[in-house]
Chains A and B, each alone.
Chain A
């Protein structure tokens, strides 16, 4: 059922922790969705299965798929990828910079906050003239936000 997943003979037989965690999260989310769907009311008109019917069926479907996913992971259908999340700290930093910028929006305003975040994100990358590039990116983004979004599209920037 794993489609194009590597065959067990090719795959690293060690069970990938990330897949197991993902499977467990899918299972927990399916159960939670199923429980929430059961709380929805029944249909009123004749033949109407009600607002909870499809969510209930989706929950059961997701539960079956989650169990199949966990089963396939335990059988070794998915290859363990060494260092899959090893470089994720830079990705996390990029996201973190934007999260902090959004938190600072009430004080800085959206245009300035994302311009600063863009400049800081550019600094995360190696290369020549990093500072110049960061400043140019920040100024460019600020101009786009103000001229294009605020003035041309009429977006009321916070």
Chain B
């Protein structure tokens, strides 16, 4: 009970409200700028959270994460260019509605649905995280190793594109995680005599490089021209009663779909938005309206992508296993504060845990307030020149990388990761498994070796522990499903060719 009261005290303190407002504003701007998203936003934000308390830093990150999910819909509606991948489904009906001169209505649906989705996802997190964490406290090292492995294989398999590339990315991340002093024996590994590597490859350098710098380089290459807003005017964003009545069912179904899919590792808003839209369309009396500016075609995906925020935090808080790059960044931030996310956090840091649990709900409400008040300004930010965005990202990346340990070594490392991330993007290698593997590397290795020490080197421990067996089977399934899908697609293609 003390934890709840103290966490609410932090949230409703002057600094708590300030970080929530700043996070919401930044999140909307970053979400609205095409190409950027919550992962890039959070990676550039982390250096500013060093000096904050863990509670305030988490509130800032949650607020940015939530609002960036909504912000993606602003450019999707106004420019037909989704700011984030999770707003791709919104662009179809949102832009069609804007073309009819109803940009205000489209954005009001998006903002309200995002708020509803965020609040419901937050409530689900509040209800699910604690019982799951109690269950996870029973896990032994073998079980934990398998849980970590499952988180990794599912993200590698579902990160998009080729499975083999996802697995190679996971392998690269795990290899990078082994650099530095080994967690059991204290032996330096792959440091090549560089003292800067004794603590391991700085997670933040990899993060900023792979997400932010690579995106800045890609922006420099693309040099896409933005369509002017023309006569589109945006002002108030309050949802009318009629639109409430029309869309509330889609908001609810989208929220449930988003929360459930958000919990699954590797499945985020970019998949949930399409599932929610398809579900809403299948249940709608006028499915032919979809694609022509249907209100439910905006409400369902927007509710779902914001609901994934609460869902994605469930495995992070309950198991200490992030299911998405964004939650991996949040886990990295917690580690930098000297904390180890997982079920023990509920007893060790109750104020922090409740600040996160309530923070998702409060951040969604703050997002509604900020979204309503600052929309005309947000609508202009989508037209910010790409040259300025690219240069700004690079500059912030360099300064953020230097802020990690005040070492130029980290800056060079960040640029190296940026180049790697750019090449990976060009070759359709997902970067999410690299980041996730870097975060999970410690958990996987320490539990793997602790389990073997406890069994005196007997590998059967992984096949006799029921939790371990369950998650090893799930890992196998997560790899086999895309292989089977690809095999069936190939067979169907060869049949149709014959």
Given contacts A1-B483, A45-B453, A121-B387, A54 and B415 within 8 Å (CB-CB): no
B496 to chain A: closest residue by CB: A9
A10 to B390, CA, bound (A): 35
Q: Which residues of B sit under 8 angstroms from A66, Cβ to Cβ? A: 168
CB–CB B164/A72 < 8 A: yes
| B376 touches A (CB below 8 Å) | no
Task: Tell me how far the C-beta of B153 lies from the nearest C-beta in chain A, rounded to whole angstroms.
Answer: 11
Mark each residue of chain B from 404 to 432: 1 if its CB lies under 8 Å from any CB of chain A, else 0: 00101001100100110011001101000
| A28 touches B (CB below 8 Å) | no
| B130 touches A (CB below 8 Å) | no
Stretch at the interface among B284-292, B316-324, B486-494: B486-494
B183 to chain A: closest residue by CB: A51
| B172 touches A (CB below 8 Å) | yes
Given contacts A43-B185, A125-B223, A91 and B391 within 8 Å (CB-CB): no
CB–CB A155/B185 < 8 A: no
| A144 touches B (CB below 8 Å) | yes
CB-CB contacts below 8 Å: B174-200 with A: 174-175, 178, 182, 184-185, 187, 189-190
Given contacts A46-B453, A49-B457, A61-B171, A94 and B386 within 8 Å (CB-CB): no
Q: Which residues of A sit under 8 angstroms from B466, Cβ to Cβ? A: none
| B403 touches A (CB below 8 Å) | yes
A106 to B456, CA, bound (A): 54
**Most B Cβ at <10 Å: residue of A46, A47, A123:** A47
Task: Tell me how far the C-beta of A67 lies from the nearest C-beta in chain B, rounded to whole angstroms.
Answer: 10
Number of A-B residue pairs at CB separation under 8 A: 219
Partner of B187, one of A41, A54, A78, A121: A41
A144 to B406, CA, bound (A): 17
Partner of A137, one of B161, B391, B454, B458: B391
| B162 touches A (CB below 8 Å) | yes
A109 to B444, CA, bound (A): 41
Given contacts A5-B161, A46-B453, A48-B449, A88 and B221 within 8 Å (CB-CB): yes
Q: Which residues of A sit under 8 angstroms from B164, Cβ to Cβ? A: 1-3, 65, 68-69, 72
CB–CB B187/A155 < 8 A: no
Question: For the complex, would chain B's binding face be called helix, strand, loop or mixed by DSSP majority?
Answer: helix
Mark each residue of chain A from 106 to 126: 1 if its CB lies under 8 Å from any CB of chain B, else 0: 000010001101110111111
A127 to B224, CA, bound (A): 11
CB–CB B175/A33 < 8 A: yes
| A102 touches B (CB below 8 Å) | yes
CB-CB contacts below 8 Å: B442-498 with A: 444-445, 448-449, 452-458, 482-483, 485-486, 489-490, 493-494, 496-497
Q: Which residues of A sit under 8 angstroms from B6, Cβ to Cβ? A: none
A126 to B223, CA, bound (A): 8
CB–CB B493/A105 < 8 A: no
A130 to chain B: closest residue by CB: B387
Partner of B395, one of A91, A95, A141, A153: A141
Q: Which residues of B sit under 8 angstroms from A8, Cβ to Cβ? A: 490, 493
A72 to chain B: closest residue by CB: B164
| A7 touches B (CB below 8 Å) | yes
CB-CB contacts below 8 Å: A52-95 with B: 52-55, 58-59, 61-62, 65-66, 68-69, 72, 77-78, 84-85, 87-88, 90-91, 93-95
Given contacts A118-B392, A133-B387, A4 and B161 within 8 Å (CB-CB): yes
A157 to B398, CA, bound (A): 12
Partner of A153, one of B48, B161, B415: B48
Q: Which residues of B sit under 8 angstroms from A155, Cβ to Cβ? A: 399, 402-403, 406
Q: Which residues of B sit under 8 angstroms from A51, Cβ to Cβ? A: 182, 184-185, 187, 189
Q: Which residues of B sit under 8 angstroms from A3, Cβ to Cβ? A: 157, 161-164, 166, 482, 485-486
Given contacts A145-B399, A158-B408, A2 and B162 within 8 Å (CB-CB): yes
A47 to B142, CA, bound (A): 14
| B45 touches A (CB below 8 Å) | no
Given contacts A7-B489, A65-B171, A110-B402, A98 and B449 within 8 Å (CB-CB): no
CB–CB A2/B497 < 8 A: no
A25 to chain B: closest residue by CB: B423
Besides A105-B408, A122-B385, 9 more A-B contacts (Cβ < 8 Å) are: A9-B493, A47-B458, A66-B168, A90-B223, A95-B419, A117-B395, A124-B220, A137-B387, A156-B406
Instruction: List the 3 closest A-B pairs by CB distance, nearest first.
Output: A125-B387, A94-B220, A51-B182
18 pairs, A vs B, C-beta closer than 8 Å: A1-B164, A3-B157, A5-B161, A18-B426, A22-B427, A30-B171, A46-B456, A47-B454, A95-B419, A110-B398, A114-B394, A122-B390, A125-B223, A144-B399, A153-B48, A153-B403, A155-B399, A155-B402
- Residues in A lying within 8 Å of B, measured CB to CB: 1-5, 7-10, 18-19, 22, 26, 30, 33, 36, 40-41, 43-55, 58-59, 61-62, 65-66, 68-69, 72, 77-78, 84-85, 87-88, 90-91, 93-95, 98-99, 102, 105, 110, 114-115, 117-119, 121-127, 133, 137, 141, 144-145, 149, 153, 155-158
